Structure 1
Amino acid sequence: MLSFKPFKGIHIKEEYIEKFPIYTPEKYTEEQIKAKLKDKNPSYIDIIRPTFFKGESPLKNRFKKVRKRFEEYINENLLEHDPASIYIYEQKKRNGEIFKGIIGLVSVEDFKENRVKIPEKTIEQKQKIFTEFLDITYLQTNPVLLTYDSNSKLDVMMELEMKSKPLFHIEDELDISHKIWKVDNRLKLAQFKETIENLPALYLADGHYRMAAAIEHSDKIKEKAKSKDFLFDMNHQVMSLLISSHSLKIYEYNRLIKSLGSLTKDKLFTKLEKYFTINEKGEQPYFPSHKHHISMYFDKKFYGLYIKHEYRGTPDDLGNIDTYLFNKFILGPVFNISDENEEKKLVSYLKGTNDIKGIINMKQVVDNGDYQIAFGFYSIPFSDLKVISDLNLKIPAKSTYIEPELLSGLIMLDMK
């Protein structure tokens, strides 16, 4: 049975909330980061400021300074501590898209025991760094994103809470609206807890390396602990945002390859023709509007690659995932890329848009000369991700980009 708990959330005081949270630093340019660091207002980027000064000290020491800065914010009375609560979250984009969900704690054991199912591989380097961040700062500042099959009872419970005044409401620099409602009534907490814990399963949609780091951090704490009562220890919980699968937006990740190596054009197409039917599309950008259709851009032209029927659906249901088929029938046999280290050197990933815009972006990157060839995908539907997860299989990393994209520092958990 799943575990879902309230927690004593920490957030900046309302008068500073507008400029406090940020998206992951990877989303910003170096100039944007520098501008944010110059801002004198209390902010999450100010708390993690030491992480940006790479030449000054080892990462471990910089993380210690992050913890120290967080405690300074507490001592300066800039942060508020809530009673044990869960939070209703709503994000509204300029195009009218709305995402809503529930923030609470899910047990590390739920991930380890496969009650929270994980469809995608984790990027180990990111996991290693974030584990050290948790080991030293004891801070979770951005929830992992979990999803579940639509549940009408949860929808009604959330809607009722959202009729009241939110704890806070901000619009970020992208004009995206974020609202948070706090739920701390014991009866309501019990109702949410019971409903969520009776869900058949949860699925990890985003935050794979943060989830893996939380597990590793928990294991380290257990090794050190004298007591075996871990029920109320926050180090064994993962701050999570639960959103219905119907509310998720799943985008594709396209692939860019730096070099063909010794491959000639003729050899490239001969190798591809073993597994794919190839249709030349010309100079007009081609978006693959179906599963098992892949867009290839090479030598100023687009091609449609259609995986031959005898290679679909094998083995088991991983063969229904186009990024898996790409790795199996293109990366390996065509480009001789057989392990993750080689893949990191030669392959880059570009977020798609579920339409022709992502293909045009892919074309522009190749035309700029940094890459020789690119492959565009049709996004993976949640139904396929669910099947893979239920079989305890893993699709390749960087197969999906999922919205909503969350802010760091909106609600925080101190595990100390």
Structure 2
Amino acid sequence: MPKITPFAAVRPTRDKAALVTSRSYDDYSAAELAAQLDFNPFSFLHVLHPGYVNVQKNDPTKRFGQVRSKYTDFKSEGILKKETQPILYLYEMQSKSRSYTGIIAGVSIQDYLDGKIKKHEDTLEYRVEQFEEYLHITGFNTEPVLIAYPENKTLSDWISQTKSRRPLYLFSSPNRDRHTLWRIKEPAQIEWLQSEFAKIPSLYIADGHHRSASAALLYERDKDTGNANLSNFMALLVSEEQVKINEYNRVIRDLNGLNESEFLKKVSASFDIRNLGQELWKPTHKGEFGMYLNGNFYALKPLNQTSTVDAQLLYDELLAPILGIGDLRNDGRIEYIPGNQPLTKLVEWVDSDEFEVGFTLFPIAFQEIRELADRDEILPPKSTYIEPKIRSGLVIYEL
């Protein structure tokens, strides 16, 4: 049965938690990133993006070395501190529309390899290898894998009771989300939680397939070094009803040598097409697709239900045979936009000179994800954009 493990985390001092933690630096525009780095010397973005003016000019090995060096500086300056003993955490994030609560723990890479922690989505090979190298050089990870467990009243009652205790951190981030963190350090509490999770047949990766795959790759690479921390990776474990699933939309750089008329004719052989003009439109049901091409939106409905998974159906019926998209894990002609971004983002990308056509999908339900994972079936990469997302620098797992 799946095993959870306490670990000696590195984290901000209590007085600096709100200043240190950040969104992932990929979420910031260039202007936002510059402002954070210029005016907040405690931001973890200084670690993730050291020497931000020139860092992108450096090769990955040198860049990851700079991350490691800046991380060491933050520890030596007392901005970050390490726990004196292995513990667990309870984390809550409250936004204007939702609230999420989960347990932060180490989970076993062997459980992941044995299929007790189940995956549902394929990965992009270059990203797995790149992040494995990042972990190897930097020696830490601050983005836990989001793992879902079936609804569990016993754990829910324990979480409600624990939230009545005085937290370690309670702060608001600039986007007005509220973040609370409690330490779970009592041995009896840790053992009880371990025994409760041991009763759960399977856990499911909701978000973080690349991070978990990279951790497993690093484990295989360095497991003979005697570093016990490599045997686990950090996870945020949440009840599956708290998982918020958005789709990932697709944009393609060209029409595979076709002009617009030829492309639409080929699409119409496999899909019923409705031209919606300039109306901003996204699918409202499973089995529908939106398409944006040359200033117009189209609603697509497949003529043949060749797959029950929308992302796979779109690939099988359109992306591969018509647009010539090959290996989704490595093809440079396709990019992905998370579904929590406004539809105008896709319009902006397609209207630029870089992309020719965009596709929108309907979000998959978690029940479908669980059923696919139980059958050992894998979704195409970038099929789901899942929340919650924990802030970088809040809890750090050292390798």
Superposition TM-score tier, normalisation by shorter sequence = over 0.9
Long gaps (5+) in structure 2: none
Runs (4+) off by over 4 Å: 55-58
Q: 1:4-23 residue pairs with structure 2 within 5 A?
A: 4-23=4-23
Q: 1:23 deviation in Å?
A: 1.5
Please state whether the residue corresponding to 1:50 is helix, strand or coil: coil
Q: Which residue of 2 aligns with 1:102?
A: 103
Q: Which residue of 2 aligns with 1:397?
A: 381
User: Which of the numbers 291, 298, 301 marks the counterpart of 1:296?
Assistant: 291
Q: Distance in 1 between matches of 2:268 and 2:325?
A: 18
Q: Which residue of 1 aligns with 2:331?
A: 343
Matched positions, count: 397
Q: 1:4-403 residue pairs with structure 2 within 5 A?
A: 4-39=4-39, 41-50=41-50, 52=52, 53-54=54-55, 58-82=59-83, 83-95=85-97, 97-225=98-226, 233-308=228-303, 310-312=304-306, 319-340=307-328, 343-345=331-333, 347-353=334-340, 358-368=342-352, 370-403=354-387
Q: Distance in 2 between matches of 1:342 and 1:108?
A: 25
Tell me if the contact between 2:50 and 2:70 (Cα under 8 Å) persists in the aligned partners.
no
Q: Distance in 2 between matches of 1:113 and 1:179?
A: 33
Aligned AA (1:236): S
- Report the TM-score when normalising by structure 2: 0.92
Q: 1:100 deviation in Å?
A: 0.8
User: Residues 400 and 40 from structure 1, CA distance in 2 versus in 1: closer, same or farther, beyond 3 angstroms?
Assistant: closer
Q: Deviations over 1:114-145 (max 9, x none)?
A: 11111111122222222122212221212111
Q: Deviations over 1:220-260 (max 9, x none)?
A: 222445xxxx7xx1111111000111101101111122322
Q: Distance in 2 between matches of 1:26 and 1:360?
A: 19
Q: Distance in 2 between matches of 1:65 and 1:282?
A: 49
Q: 1:364 deviation in Å?
A: 4.2
Tell me if the contact between 1:280 and 1:302 (Cα under 8 Å) persists in the aligned partners.
yes
- Report the TM-score when normalising by structure 1: 0.89
Aligned AA (1:38): D
Q: Distance in 1 between matches of 2:225 and 2:188?
A: 36
Tell me if the contact between 2:49 and 2:55 (Cα under 8 Å) persists in the aligned partners.
no
Q: 1:148 deviation in Å?
A: 1.6
Q: Distance in 2 between matches of 1:105 and 1:305?
A: 43
User: Residues 74 and 280 from structure 1, CA distance in 2 versus in 1: closer, same or farther, beyond 3 angstroms?
Assistant: closer
Q: Distance in 1 between matches of 2:290 and 2:99?
A: 30
Tell me if the contact between 2:126 and 2:330 (Cα under 8 Å) persists in the aligned partners.
no
Tell me if the contact between 2:124 and 2:330 (Cα under 8 Å) persists in the aligned partners.
no
Long gaps (5+) in structure 1: 313-318
Q: Deviations over 1:124-173 (max 9, x none)?
A: 22222221222122212121111122111111111111011111012112
Please state whether the residue corresponding to 1:105 is helix, strand or coil: strand
Q: Distance in 2 between matches of 1:348 and 1:70?
A: 31
Please state whether the residue corresponding to 2:196 is helix, strand or coil: helix
Q: 1:57 deviation in Å?
A: 5.3
Q: Distance in 2 between matches of 1:49 and 1:164?
A: 35
Tell me if the contact between 1:142 and 1:410 (Cα under 8 Å) persists in the aligned partners.
no
Aligned AA (2:165): S
Tell me if the contact between 1:281 and 1:301 (Cα under 8 Å) persists in the aligned partners.
yes
Q: Distance in 1 between matches of 2:119 and 2:40?
A: 40
Tell me if the contact between 2:37 and 2:43 (Cα under 8 Å) persists in the aligned partners.
no
Matched-pair identity in %: 26
Aligned AA (2:33): I
Q: 1:54 deviation in Å?
A: 3.0
Q: 1:32 deviation in Å?
A: 2.2
User: Residues 333 and 67 from structure 1, CA distance in 2 versus in 1: closer, same or farther, beyond 3 angstroms?
Assistant: closer
Q: Distance in 1 between matches of 2:352 and 2:60?
A: 35
Aligned AA (2:127): K
Tell me if the contact between 1:351 and 1:358 (Cα under 8 Å) persists in the aligned partners.
no
Tell me if the contact between 1:6 and 1:105 (Cα under 8 Å) persists in the aligned partners.
yes
